[in-house]
């Protein structure tokens, strides 16, 4: 059972309301909102082009559905992170990095996706690259560092002074 103490340890304090933090979260939510919109429009395009097997195959449907689901999940992670939830921030960092890597791999595979979907995935990749850069930037990482809340040092070389 989670107590109030364990719940408060999972969140950060008022620093999420700092103007720099709010700007970073706003930018990430806008980028991810664009990712959700492009992903949803992709499924609409697939539906409209469904009678042309060269443009819409099973891979397009499967990839389109996966991208819509993950984009909505990523938006929920961003909202949670903007409210100071450490786990949401960690999930956002992991999911955005994994999805960006998956996009790079999938659009580089010859013949795997139709050209129109490669372009769409490239746009999604650019949006996610922005999220990855912001989420992995020093400001937000330091904001969510566990040691900051407890006063402990974190990161590489944090124990060097103890020697």
**pLDDT tens digits, one per residue of 99-111:** 999 999 999 999 8
> Does some domain include residue 161?
no
In the chain, the number of structural domains is 1
Count helices and strands in the chain by DSSP H and E runs: 7, 0
Q: How many CA atoms lie within 13 A of 95 on its CB side?
A: 19
- 98 C-beta neighbours (distance < 10 Å), count: 12
- Global confidence as pTM: 0.80
Q: Could you tell me the end-to-end alpha-carbon distance of the chain, in angstroms, rounded to an integer?
A: 38
**Residue numbers of the domain that contains 127:** 16-140
> Does some domain include residue 10?
no
- Assess contact for 28 and 78: CB atoms under 8 A: yes
The answer for residues whose C-beta is within 8 angstroms of residue 38's C-beta and 6 or more apart is 120, 123, 124, 127
> Does some domain include residue 9?
no
> Does some domain include residue 145?
no
Q: What is the pLDDT of residues 54-108, one digit of tens each?
A: 999 999 999 999 999 999 999 999 999 999 999 999 999 999 999 999 999 999 9
> Does some domain include residue 160?
no
- Confidence at residue 32, expressed as pLDDT on a 0 to 100 scale: 97
């Amino acid at each position: 059972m989670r107590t109030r103490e364990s719940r408060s340890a999972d969140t950060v304090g008022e620093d999420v309301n700092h103007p720099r933090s709010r700007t970073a979260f706003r930018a990430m939510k806008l980028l991810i909102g664009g990712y959700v919109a492009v992903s949803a429009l992709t499924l609409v395009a697939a539906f409209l082009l469904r009678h042309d097997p060269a443009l819409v195959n099973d891979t397009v449907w499967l990839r389109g559905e996966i991208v819509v689901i993950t984009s909505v999940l990523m938006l929920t992670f961003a909202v949670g992170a903007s409210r100071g939830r450490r786990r949401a921030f960690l999930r956002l960092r992991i999911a955005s990095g994994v999805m960006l890597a998956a996009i790079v791999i999938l659009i580089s595979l010859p013949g795997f996706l139709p050209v129109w979907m490669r372009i769409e995935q490239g746009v999604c990749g650019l949006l996610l690259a922005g999220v990855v850069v912001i989420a992995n930037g020093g400001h937000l990482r330091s904001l969510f560092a566990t040691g900051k809340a407890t006063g402990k040092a974190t990161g590489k070389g944090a124990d060097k002074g103890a020697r």
